[in-house]
Homo-oligomer: A and B are copies of this chain.
Amino acid sequence: MARKKSQTESSTETAETVRRAPMRDFSRSLPMSLLRAREAVMRQFRPSLRNHGLTEQQWRILRALTTVDAIEVTELARVAFLLGPSLSRILRDLEARQLIERRTAKADLRRAVVSISAKGLKLIEAVAPTSEAIYAEITSRYGARKLAELQDMLGVLERSLVAMEVAGEESGEIEE
């Protein structure tokens, strides 16, 4: 680190009143903390996934599909925590690669039902060992108990924020 300034500072005078409100130091804001933590975690997994030709989101989808027999697209979006449009694009690609299978629900032609293919399962099984090893290493380094506690706290945070949203909608802003 070490700022290493005073070398490109031959500036003139630029911003005058800048630096009025230091605010919350910014780099320590909650969104930044969460972003950096998540990035630090994912940086561990990405290389392995990449070696198997998978992105983080594609992995999430396949992973979610191994926990069910078949699932509708909307439900899958909820479980894998992806927005519809992203999921739509990714499913198109995964289907083309024959890692998943998709068919239309007989009772409701709007709905599509997705399931993982044998090829997809094989891929998952090829990646899983490394992923599990990395996860174990993280758990070991950070501490299993602490990790569980952290996840609890994140869950509580999430729920209190959802409650906050609801509170902000109960009246007023109906139409746009």
Determine whether the beta carbon of B63 is less than 8 Å from that of A45.
Answer: no
**Contact residues of A between 100 and 123, Cβ < 8 Å to B:** 101, 103, 105-108, 111, 113, 115-118, 121
Determine whether the beta carbon of A157 is less than 8 Å from that of B150.
Answer: yes
**Contact residues of A between 65 and 101, Cβ < 8 Å to B:** 65-70, 72, 79, 81, 101
The docked-state distance in angstroms from the alpha carbon of A117 to that of B17 is 10
Determine whether the beta carbon of B121 is less than 8 Å from that of A17.
Answer: yes
The docked-state distance in angstroms from the alpha carbon of A50 to that of B142 is 37
**Oligomeric state, in copies:** 2
**Contact residues of A between 130 and 157, Cβ < 8 Å to B:** 132, 135, 137-138, 141-142, 146-147, 149-151, 153-157
Determine whether the beta carbon of A116 is less than 8 Å from that of B66.
Answer: no
Determine whether the beta carbon of B15 is less than 8 Å from that of A69.
Answer: yes
On chain A, which size bracket covers the interface?
35 or more
Which of B135, B138, B142, B161 is in CB contact (< 8 Å) with A40? B161
Determine whether the beta carbon of A138 is less than 8 Å from that of B121.
Answer: no
Partner-B contacts on A (CB < 8 A): 7-11, 14-45, 56, 60, 63-70, 72, 79, 81, 101, 103, 105-108, 111, 113, 115-118, 121, 128, 132, 135, 137-138, 141-142, 146-147, 149-151, 153-158, 160-165
